[in-house]
């Protein structure tokens, strides 16, 4: 069991560095948006989901209401319901244990564990998730401490690293006609909706590509 | 409660619930077969949606910028069967270079 935790930790280490840089910029921006230091720390520890945390910063930073911030974040994080369902049968133990373990579900821990040769394994997933969680919270602390010394991480191309990562994780998933249709539909639906809907909705709508893809012969 | 703390508590509670819904309610039970098929296809569908929104998503707009150069370079690295880390570094470096040039 211990080896599988370590396998997950090793597998995710390079991605955790990028995630840490991403959360560092969350700390910087949250501070600049007037969220103080304790609220961003609590948010990284409890929410642990990049895009939603950035959405909250951007809504509050532009003097939006808490209601608007919560709505934006819920739309962005709605994807975790289908993602959690897709790996639900791998979780074991009491409901409380499964509740705690489910909290390290993020895009990267899910997708990296899926591509594992031996199939999805909950211990590998937890090892990867815990390393990401640690990197995410340490990054937030550093960002809060540094303030605006670091500048814009997108200068280093961080914003291109994530779509490339997801592309690299998508390709091995494209086995069989149904998987290819699901991917084409998911990507196509998302692309069509991007100009017309708030962020997060295109991903959730794209997930329905799985249903239609299943009907492909 | 201030708007900041209201947001932190509201978003935190909602996210914890969204992440937990599958593992807690379904747990170690096997999914019924009519559901298992489509659920197995969630990965390609959602990953493709991630690629699209992260590559060209803007504020309610499709934005073509240096990210596309990065993703293109990353795609070439994927085609050459480079390891994940190399793909990510190539994509970031290409986007950063494109930003210097553009």
- At A68, the pLDDT band (50, 70, 90 cuts) reads confident
Task: Give B43's contacts (C-beta < 8 A, 6+ positions apart).
Answer: A86, A111, A114, A173
The least confident of A8-12, A15-19, A103-107, B30-34 is: B30-34
DSSP sequence for A137-180: HHHHHHHHHHGGGS--GGGGTHHHHHHHHHHHHHGGG--SHHHH
Share of residues in chain A with pLDDT > 90 (%): 57
pLDDT at residue A72 above 90? no
For A66, the token pair is: 């808490």
Q: Do A157 and B95 touch (CB under 8 A)?
A: yes
Q: Does A94 touch chain B (CB under 8 A)?
A: no
pLDDT tens digits, residue range B50-99? 999 999 988 889 999 999 999 999 999 999 999 888 898 899 999 999 99
pLDDT at residue B37 above 90? no
pLDDT at residue A153 above 70? no
pLDDT at residue A149 above 70? no
For A119, the token pair is: 């199939």
Q: Do B51 and A166 touch (CB under 8 A)?
A: yes
Of all residues in chain A, the one with the smallest CA distance to B40 is: A86
Probe site for chain A from B11, B73, B74 (most A CB atoms < 10 A) = B11
Probe site for chain B from A44, A164, A183, A206 (most B CB atoms < 10 A) = A164
Q: Do B39 and A168 touch (CB under 8 A)?
A: no
Three-state DSSP at B62 gives strand
Which residues, numbered 5 to 64 in chain B, qualify as contacts with chain A under a Cβ-Cβ cut-off of 8 Å?
Answer: 5-8, 10-12, 14-16, 18-31, 37-58, 60-62
Q: What is the ipTM of this complex?
A: 0.89
């Amino acid at each position: 069991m211990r080896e599988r935790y370590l396998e997950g930790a090793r597998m995710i280490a390079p991605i955790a560095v990028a995630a840490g840089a991403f959360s560092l910029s969350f700390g910087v921006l949250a501070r600049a948006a007037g969220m103080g230091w304790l609220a961003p720390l609590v948010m990284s520890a409890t929410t642990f989901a990049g895009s939603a945390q950035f959405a909250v910063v951007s809504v509050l930073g532009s003097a939006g209401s808490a209601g608007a911030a919560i709505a934006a974040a819920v739309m962005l994080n709605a994807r975790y319901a289908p993602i959690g369902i897709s790996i639900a049968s791998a979780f074991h133990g009491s409901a409380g244990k499964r509740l705690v373990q489910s909290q390290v579900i993020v895009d990267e821990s899910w997708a990296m564990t899926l591509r594992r040769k031996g199939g999805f394994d909950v211990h590998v997933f937890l090892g990867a998730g815990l390393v990401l969680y640690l990197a995410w919270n340490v990054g937030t602390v550093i960002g809060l401490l540094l303030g605006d010394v670091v500048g814009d991480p997108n200068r280093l191309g961080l914003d291109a690293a994530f779509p490339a990562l997801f592309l690299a994780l998508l390709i091995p998933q494209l086995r069989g006609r149904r998987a290819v249709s699901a991917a084409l539909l998911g990507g196509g639906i998302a692309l069509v909706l991007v100009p017309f809907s708030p962020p997060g909705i295109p991903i959730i709508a794209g997930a329905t590509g799985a249903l239609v893809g299943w009907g492909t012969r | 409660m201030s708007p900041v703390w209201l947001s932190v508590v509201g978003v935190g509670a909602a996210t914890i619930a969204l992440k937990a819904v599958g593992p807690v309610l379904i747990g170690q039970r096997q999914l019924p077969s009519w559901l298992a098929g489509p659920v197995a296809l969630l990965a390609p569908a959602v990953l493709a949606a991630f690629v699209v929104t992260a590559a060209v998503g803007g504020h309610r707009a499709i934005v073509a910028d240096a990210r596309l150069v990065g993703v293109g370079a990353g795609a070439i690295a994927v085609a050459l069967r480079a390891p994940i880390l190399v793909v990510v570094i190539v994509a970031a470096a290409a986007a950063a270079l494109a930003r210097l040039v553009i």
